[in-house]
Structure 1
Amino acid sequence: MEDRWLSVDEIGDYLGIKRDTVYKWISEKGMPAHKIGRLWKFKKDEVDQWVRSGGAAAGNEQDDANKAE
């Protein structure tokens, strides 16, 4: 039963980041998350793919391109 929905705290623990960072990444970096009622939930495989594609990179190229415009 590994394909369950994870909470903000669980995904933060998994990634080794604080819950405030999780919320920041959702709003500013497009971290894949699903809002269910008032709660954010995550699929680990979606987050893994997002991290692998550079979504969590500090100062990633898309952020840099947006600042240059």
Structure 2
Amino acid sequence: MMEDRWLSVDEISAYLGIKRDTVYKWISERQMPGHKIGRLWKFNKKEVDEWVKSNKADNNEPGSKGDR
């Protein structure tokens, strides 16, 4: 299997252990790195890993209910 392939919304949500709806929310509200190709969102695992490590996916922000 190719390691550098782009992941779908379903695949990135499973990888992160979150719901699909949370992926879309994080794209719009937290600038989660994703690339829209036509109607589909695609994600580079390395970009998402770096984004998570930079604490931008932190669910402990005021008003956040979390999703895990």
CA distance in structure 2 between the partners assigned to 1:23 and 1:57 by the alignment: 15
Q: Of Structure 1 and Structure 2, which has the larger fraction of its residues in strand?
A: 1
Matched position secondary structure for 1:28: helix
Gaps of 5+ in 2: 63-68
Q: Name the residue aligned to 1:44.
A: 45
CA distance in structure 1 between the partners assigned to 2:56 and 2:42 by the alignment: 18
The alignment yields a C-alpha RMSD, in angstroms, of 1.1
Alpha-carbon offset, residue 25 of structure 1: 0.2
Alignment of 1:1-69 (within 5 A): 1-58=2-59, 59=61
Please list the CA deviations of residues 7-31 of structure 1 after superposition, one character each: whole Å capped at 9, or x if unmatched: 0000000000000000000000000
Q: Of Structure 1 and Structure 2, which has the larger fraction of its residues in helix?
A: 1
TM-score normalized with structure 2 length: 0.85
- Kindly report structure 1 stretches of 4+ aligned residues shifted beyond 3 Å: none
Gaps of 5+ in 1: 61-69
